[in-house]
Amino acid sequence: RAASLDRSTRGSNTTLNSDEDNINVVIRIRPMNDKEKSCGEKQILEFPGKGQVICHTDAPGQKSKVFSYNVVFEPAATQEDVLEYCGIKRLLEMAVEGFSCTAFCYGQTGSGKTHTLTGPPGLVESGASPYSPEHGLVVRSFVYLFRLIQERPESHFILKASFLEIYNEKVIDLLNPGTARKPLQVRWSKDSRSFYVENLFTVDCEELDDLFAVLEEGMRNRSVGSHAMNAHSSRSHTVLSVRVRRELRADASVTCATHGKINFVDLAGSEMTKRTQSTGKTLEEANNINRSLMVLGYCIAQLSDGKKRGHIPYRDSKLTKLLADSLAGNGVTLMIACIAPTKSNISETINTLRYAARAKKIKSKPIVKMDARDALILSLKREVDVLHAENQHL
């Protein structure tokens, strides 16, 4: 825990404040489980602080590998530590201001993605109190979001939540399980200049309990679906989205609205990309074992390589279409890369550490999302204010 919380690491967590950075990358290492302990497994990771992870490969002739990130959460870090230091609070503040934000967990199956987002298995479904210390980032974020709203009584907020799953490139509404038989379509909206899921059930959330109910219902439906199919959760992605419409009075006669969003994404196990690639097909031909995860990898690789900008294949998978506006353009992204501490997981751990290091290079400047009409009104109003100010100086 010390490395994740030392002063220098806390300090580096503020890099998102630069308006150049739109991605924050943190690492979370889960504790050894009972099985690993009883087998006498060795811990191969070291955390010297300053956002670094050292991976001791132990192989003859191979040096230890050093990786750097914004923050590293050691196995003893609590769910509360993750909320405080991973950077999610800034994303939520930005969602309230009208940005599109995404927090996603990446890592091999069993590395702690679901634990980080929603806590130990069954906790949410059991209807545990929202203030249980075991709750993950999603419930904690809901609580923080409502605090932010209460601190802004001058604005009127409308929150709408949805919860979907992408399995085998099919979009299933976790709030409407009937869609498992008739998957939903992802379409482009000219008005909002972003992709959306047609006929997705959205729930108006006036109170904190409404958001919890959405999470609980979706998690229940997901676990029902997964009984039918082994290893279902390691192959599918879930996306829980909260849209935040904020109406604020520019002056007595004009009201403007911003449209922010926060997505929480629990990705399929990262070991799935290899299975996709092992088919030997090109990106266009790749079968759907996990096209979305593979395309996300391509998008991140290209976004992080400044020279290749302009050819980012968001349109090549359902997931990247839905995350496009936060990955580039008008959003901010938090990547939580989850890893296991033991030697038996070393090759997946190194893959995850590399993927996360690549994502950290992405740079772009987020912009607020507003209706075109509102943006025009606001810019005209600003001009009028400037003219007024100039007049007063004359």
Q: Which residues bind ligand ADP (CB under 6 A)?
A: 30-31, 33, 107, 109-115, 120-121, 338
Task: Please state, in angstroms and rounded to a whole number, the distance separating the CA atoms of residues 173 and 239.
Answer: 10
The residue among 11 and 121 lying less far from ligand ADP, judged by its C-beta, is: 121
User: Which residue in 196, 159, 17 sits closest to 89, CA to CA?
Assistant: 17
Shortest Cβ 112–ligand ADP spacing (Å): 3
The residue among 70 and 114 lying less far from Mg ion, judged by its C-beta, is: 114
Contacts of 52 (CB under 8 A, 6+ apart): 3, 66, 67, 68, 69, 72
Shortest Cβ 136–ligand ADP spacing (Å): 9
* 3-state SS class at 130: coil
The residue among 221 and 234 lying less far from ligand ADP, judged by its C-beta, is: 234
Report whether 220 contacts 229 (CB < 8 A). no
The residue among 30 and 135 lying less far from ligand ADP, judged by its C-beta, is: 30
Q: How far is CA 284 from CA 195, 281, 295, 315, in A?
A: 20, 8, 10, 11
For Mg ion, how many residues bind (rule: CB under 5 A)?
3
Q: Write the binding mask 87 to 116 for Mg ion: x where contact by CB under 5 A, - elsewhere.
A: --------------------------xx--
Shortest Cβ 233–Mg ion spacing (Å): 5
Structure-token match 């670094």, residue found: 52
Question: Across the chain, which distance is largest between two alpha carbons, in Å?
Answer: 81
Q: Write the binding mask 214 to 233 for Mg ion: x where contact by CB under 5 A, - elsewhere.
A: -------------------x
Write down the H helix ranges in the chain: 2-5, 7-12, 34-38, 79-85, 88-97, 113-118, 137-150, 208-227, 232-235, 272-277, 291-304, 318-327, 346-359, 372-393
The residue among 111 and 263 lying less far from ligand ADP, judged by its C-beta, is: 111
Shortest Cβ 32–ligand ADP spacing (Å): 10
What does 136 bind: ligand ADP, Mg ion, none (CB cut-off 5 to 8 Å by kind)?
none
The residue among 222 and 243 lying less far from Mg ion, judged by its C-beta, is: 222
Shortest Cβ 94–ligand ADP spacing (Å): 26
Task: Please state, in angstroms and rounded to a whole number, the distance separating the CA atoms of residues 276 and 289.
Answer: 6
Binding positions for Mg ion, rule: CB under 5 A: 113-114, 233
